[in-house]
Amino acid sequence: MNEPHPIRPRPVLGRLPAYAAGKPPAPVEGLVSYKLASNENPYGPVPAVRRAVERFDAIARYPDPLSTALRERLSAHLGVAAQDIVTGAGSLGALTQIITTFAGTGEDGTPDEVIFAWRSFEAYPIVVRSSGARDVQVPLTADFRHDLEAMAAAITERTRVILLCTPNNPTGPVLTTREVEDFLAKVPQHVLVVIDEAYQEFVRQPDAVDGLDVFSRHSNVAVLRTFSKAHGLANLRVGYSVTHPHVTQYLRVLATPFAVSSLAEQAAIASLDHLEDVMERVDIVVAERQKMVAGLAEAGWSVPETQANFVWLDLGDRTPGSWRRPPARRCPCGASAPRACASPSASGRPTHGSCSCAGSSGRPRTGSSGPSQNARICRSGSRLDRDRRRVRRHGRSSPCTIRRRHRLRRPSCRKEPSACWTLTGPCTRTPGSRPTWRT
C-alpha cells in the first residue's frame, strides 16, 4: 500500500500555490459571527432575488449553455452587444475561460506569459499555471498600487495576457483612467489586457477607470465583472466577461458548458431589475467603509485608500511592506518585544514605553519568578500579537477573548474600551461583561 501508484498528476500541480479560501466564522455564544476574509456582502441579495429563487422549479432541467436571457439583460444594462458577453461561474470562472483560451504552452514547448501585479487576487497564479503558462508577478508600489511602469517593462514576446485588478484585491486602490490609457499605449495590440472589476459597484473615486469605457476604445481590452459581491450572489456563481468579437469567437470554444445554472441566471436578472435596491445596500457598505478607515486612522493605522468593500491591513512579517508605525521602545523588563510592548492608549492610538509586563507606573511587574517571569509574559505578549493578527485576518474571536486566553492583565478591555479595535469597530466591553461591538 505504501508503494507509489503509477497514476500521476501533471507535474504542474506541484508548482501550484494552494488557494486559501476564507475560513468559516467560529461560533461565539451570545454573538453573531461573520466571515470577513471573503469580502462577502453582509446584507445578501435583495428581496426580489429571494422571491425568484423561491419560485424556481426547473431543477431537473439543464440550463441554457449561453445564458441568453441574462446576456440580453446585461446588454441593455451595460450598453454592449449581447454577443460580446460570455458568462462564467463567477468572475473567476470567466477569467479561467480567458486564460485557458489565450495563454498556455506554445507548440515549441515554451510557456506563454501572463503579467499581473502582486499581491493581487490569490487565484491569479493558480489559474495561470494550471493552463501551462508562466505567471509574471510585478510587485505593488509602496502605497499598494499597481506599478504600471514596471508591468509595461515586463512585457516580452511571450506575453499573451495582462491582468489589471481594480479595485485591487486585497489592497483596495483603484486605477485611474489616465493611468490605464497611458499603460495601454505601451502594450502591443496582440496582448489581451483584462480589467478585473469584481468590486466596481463600490467605487466612488471620480477619476477611477471604467473598464467598459476603456473597452469601447481599445480592441485588445476585456472586462470581468461578477454578481458575487455587490449583488450578494456569491454562492450562485454568476460572472461574465465582455470582449470584442475577434476575442469572443475563440472564447466560446473553450467556455465551460452549463457553468451558470438557470437558478443563478434568474437570480441575476432579478437583481438587475431591482438595481436601485442593490445600490442602496452598496451605499451602506461604502458608508461603513469610510467609518472603518477613519477609525483605523484614529487608532494610528496607515491603510491604502480602498475603493472596495474591504480594508487592507499590512500585518508586518506576515505580509510585504510595513505599517509605518512609530518605532517601538525597549520593554521596561529589558526584553526586546516591540509588538508586545506597543500597548494602545485610552484614545486607541498605539503608544510605547509600557507593555504587558508593566504596571500602571510603567515599571516591570515582579513576582515569585522575578525578571524571568516578566520575560515569559513578554513572550506571551508576542503570542497575543500573533493571535490579534489572526483575528484581523479571519475574524475568529475578539481580542478580549484572546487576552483572557493568554491571561495578560492588560487594561484595555476592562478600563479603556475604545483602545480595543477589531475590523467591525471598537470594543465596548465593560468590566465583568462579555465583549460587544459597536459598528
Q: What are the pLDDT digits (tens) for 340-377?
A: 333 333 333 333 333 333 333 333 333 333 333 333 33
Which helix (DSSP H) or strand (DSSP E) does residue 292 occupy?
Answer: helix 275-298
- Average the pLDDT over each of 35-44, 145-154, 421-430 and give the range with the smallest value: 421-430
How many angstroms separate the CA atoms of 346 and 357, rounded?
A: 18
- Is the same domain home to 246 and 373? no
pLDDT for 130 equals 93
Q: How confident is the model at residue 361, as a pLDDT?
A: 36
Q: How far apart are CA 349 and CA 26, in angstroms?
A: 28
Residue 28 scores a pLDDT above 60 = yes
Mean pLDDT of 328-351: 37
What does the alpha-carbon distance between residue 176 and residue 208 come to, in Å, rounded to a whole number?
4
Domain that holds residue 398: 325-426
In this structure, the answer to whether residues 87 and 219 fall within a common structural domain is yes
294 domain-assigned: no
Q: Are 86 and 181 members of one domain?
A: yes
Residue 371 maps to a domain: yes
Point out the domain boundary residue: 275, 294, 310: 275
Query: Does any domain span residue 438?
Result: no
Least trusted range by pLDDT, from 287-296, 305-314, 424-433: 424-433
d(CA 79, CA 65): 22
The pLDDT of residue 35? 81
Q: What is the pTM of this model?
A: 0.70
Are 204 and 352 members of one domain? no
| Band (189; pLDDT cuts 50, 70, 90) | very high
| pLDDT tens per residue, range 285-302 | 999 999 999 999 999 988
CA distances from 110 to 127, 157, 159 (A): 17, 11, 11
Q: Mind giving me the DSSP string for 401-437? A: HHHHHHT---GGGTT-GGG-EETTEEB---TTS---B
Pseudo-torsion of CA 30, 35, 41, 45, nearest 10°?
-70
Average pLDDT of the chain is 78
pLDDT of 107 reads 87
The whole-number pLDDT of residue 1 equals 54
Q: Give the pLDDT of residue 23.
A: 75
Q: What is the pLDDT of residues 368-409, one digit of tens each?
A: 333 333 333 344 444 445 544 544 444 444 444 433 443 333
Asked whether residue 99 is assigned to any structural domain, the reply reads: yes
Q: How confident is the model at residue 24 (pLDDT cuts 50, 70, 90)?
A: confident
Other beta carbons less than 10 A from residue 85's beta carbon: 24
In a domain, 345, yes or no: yes
Are 249 and 358 contained in the same domain?
Answer: no
Residue pair 343/351 in contact by the 8 Å Cβ criterion:
yes
R_g over Cα of the chain: 25
In the three-class reduction of DSSP (H, G, I as helix; E, B as strand; rest coil), residue 132 is classed as coil
Looking at residue 322, its pLDDT comes to 41
Inside any domain, residue 315: no
Task: Please check whether residues 251 and 354 belong to one and the same domain.
Answer: no
Comparing 42 with 1, the larger pLDDT belongs to 42
Q: What is the pLDDT of residue 314?
A: 81
Average pLDDT over every residue of 177-198: 98
SS3 state at 28: coil
76 lies in the same domain as 162 = yes
Distance in angstroms (rounded) separating the CA atoms of residues 139 and 137: 6
Q: Are residues 258 and 345 in the same domain?
A: no
Percentage of the chain with pLDDT > 90?
59
Smallest Cα–Cα separation from 325: which of 347, 310, 344, 307? 344
169 assigned to some structural domain: yes
Band of residue 435 on the pLDDT scale cut at 50, 70, 90? very low
Confidence at residue 34, expressed as pLDDT on a 0 to 100 scale = 79
Average pLDDT over residues 88-111: 94
Domain boundary among 275, 306, 339: 275
CB 114 within 8 A of CB 134: yes
Give dist(CA 379, CA 390) in Å, integer. 17
DSSP 318: G
Residues 353, 229 share a domain: no
Same domain, 268 and 329: no
CB 333 within 8 Å of CB 355: yes
Domain assignment present for 141: yes
Q: What SS3 state is found at 102?
A: helix
| Same domain as 60, residue 188 | yes
CA 288 centroid distance within chain: 17
Statement to judge: residues 373 and 269 lie in one domain: no
Question: What whole-number distance in Å separates Cα of residue 31 and Cα of residue 185?
Answer: 52
CATH code (residue 170)? 3.40.640.10
Q: Who wins on pLDDT, 174 or 391?
A: 174
Task: Provide the pLDDT for residue 63.
Answer: 95
Q: Which of 275, 303, 335 is the last residue of a domain?
A: 275
